[in-house]
Amino acid sequence: MRITSVSKLLTMLTLAGLTQPALAQLSSLETDDLRLVYLRPTMSFLTPHTARCFENSMGFQRRLFGYEPSEKVSVLLLDYVLTSFWGI
């Protein structure tokens, strides 16, 4: 039993060493107040709308509460519904 456990462990370590590193295709869209980071090309179609929604919301926060961010707000745009099926 101990030999099979050791052989399984060695096999897993060998296979883990042979895999290629995952390279994320991250891109960013920046405005005066926003740094939007997203996966390219799967999220490219959402970025203009997301940036407009953020700018509208930031304008509302400024008018209503007088909020001024001290630096750009960073937003990471991910879709876990799509990425959860990639492991299947």
On whether the CB atoms of residues 54 and 34 are closer than 8 A, the answer is: yes
State the pTM of this model. Answer: 0.63
Reported confidence tier of residue 9, pLDDT bands at 50, 70, 90 = low
Task: Give the model confidence (pLDDT) of 48-71 as tens digits.
Answer: 999 999 999 999 999 999 999 999
**What b/e readout covers 36-64, taking b as 16+ CB neighbours within 10 angstroms?**
bbbbeeebeeebeebbeebeeebeeeeee
pLDDT, tens only, 19-28:
555 566 889 9
Specify the higher pLDDT residue, 21 or 45: 45
Between the CA of residue 55 and those of 36, 50, 68, 71, what are the distances in Å? Answer: 12, 9, 13, 14
Q: How is the chain split into domains, by residue range? A: 22-84
Nearest-angstrom CA–CA distance, 32 and 51: 11
